[in-house]
Structure 1
Amino acid sequence: MPFQRFVETGRVAVISDGPNKGKLVSIIDVIDQTRVLIDGPASNVPRGAIRLNQLHLTKFRIKFPFTASTAVVRKTWTDAKINEKWSESVWAKKISSKEKRAQLTDFDRFKLRRARSRRNHIRTASFLALRKTASRNGTLFGKKKMAKGGDKPKPTKKARPQKEAPKKK
């Protein structure tokens, strides 16, 4: 099945637009093809209608009766520990890292750039050292080969006997 996240009662979503942008809500009911009734008991979003193109569906879903009250939604939300699950998700971590990055000052950005430069220099130096030893061992391209100047001594060139020039008569 190609789709995993459906617009359904109990689906947790993130608001992508408007005054409550970035807050978690739960879908309470589907009004029509383009609008749903939402409620955000833990994120202080009041119950109301919202367009589907203003929501990003998450993988989380809670189960409660059809068109449940805010109190019922809040209880199932806390029982399912949606806030903890959301904070551990990769999506939430990316959002928080973007927020941290947006709060950086010029000096913080400078320090970050210098730290990356140092890290990359160390990484490159260690990679080149490993590549050099692999090349000397003969394991650079995956197969064990005879190293240049390895264990066997190089054969010495034997002196060829000089051909004598033909004698003139």
Structure 2
Amino acid sequence: MAFKRFVQVGRLCVVNYGAEVGKLCVIVDIVDASRVIVDGPTTGFERKVMSLKALSLTKVVADVSRGIRQQKLAKALEEQKVIEKFNESTWGQKKLAAAKRASLNDFDRFKVMLLKKERSLAIKKAIKAM
């Protein structure tokens, strides 16, 4: 099986751990075989050198040049709709759903629990009727 996600300039990444866990960033330059310079002007991520072990590569790639400045990167990401492409992917949908679940208050979680019980009961009735 061949690799499909290569470390390349413009590749959108998700931070795995650290203070910025879960944030999106773009590879701006490659330092060596294990470190890259990343930046996320539209996601609130500062430009810094990060280890590839701390990043997960996504399928989305922006068409940008090596060492692009922050303002031009933000403009390119906006024009190419890179963040929107990620949010339309399965990974992005899961990330948005997890953020929505995390923002629920106690009463909203209670309502979700009741809806799950109601759905489960309806499924059991449908199976019993077969």
TM-score for the superposition, normalised by structure 2? 0.85
Q: What secondary structure does 1:9 align onto?
A: coil
Deviation at 1:104, TM superposition (A): 6.0
* Residue 24 to residue 108, structure 1, CA distance change in 2 (3 Å): same
* Residue 53 to residue 123, structure 1, CA distance change in 2 (3 Å): farther
Larger RCO (alpha carbons 8 Å, 6+ apart): 2
Give the structure 2 partner of residue 107 of structure 1.
110
Kept in 1, the 8 Å contact 2:12–2:57? The answer is yes
Deviation at 1:109, TM superposition (A): 4.8
**Structure 1: distance between partners of 2:100 and 2:39:** 28
Amino acid at match of 1:116: R
Instruction: Give the number of the structure whose alpha-carbon radius of gyration is greater.
Output: 1
**Structure 2: distance between partners of 1:78 and 1:33:** 29
Deviation at 1:10, TM superposition (A): 0.8
After TM superposition, the structure 1 stretch with the greater mean CA deviation from structure 2, 117-126 or 42-51, is 117-126
Q: Relative to total residues, which structure has the larger strand share, 1 or 2?
A: 2
Matched, 1:19 2:19: yes
Q: What secondary structure does 1:29 align onto?
A: strand
Residue correspondence of structure 1 range 1-169 to structure 2 within 5 A: 2-102=2-102, 103=104, 105=106, 107-126=110-129, 128=130
Q: What secondary structure does 1:33 align onto?
A: coil
Residues 117-161 of structure 1: CA deviation (Å, up to 9, x unaligned): 2231243145x1xxxxxxxxxxxxxxxxxxxxxxxxxxxxxxxxx
* Residue 110 to residue 68, structure 1, CA distance change in 2 (3 Å): closer
Q: What secondary structure does 1:79 align onto?
A: helix
**Structure 2: distance between partners of 1:40 and 1:31:** 17
Instruction: Give the share of equivalent positions with the same residue, in percent.
Output: 32
**Structure 2: distance between partners of 1:104 and 1:116:** 21
Q: Relative to total residues, which structure has the larger helix share, 1 or 2?
A: 2
Any stretches of 5+ residues in structure 2 without a counterpart?
Answer: none
**Structure 2: distance between partners of 1:104 and 1:117:** 23
Kept in 1, the 8 Å contact 2:11–2:61? The answer is yes
In the alignment of these two chains, the number of paired residues is: 127
After superposition, the CA RMSD in angstroms is: 1.9
Deviation at 1:110, TM superposition (A): 3.1
Q: What secondary structure does 1:84 align onto?
A: helix
**Structure 2: distance between partners of 1:124 and 1:22:** 40
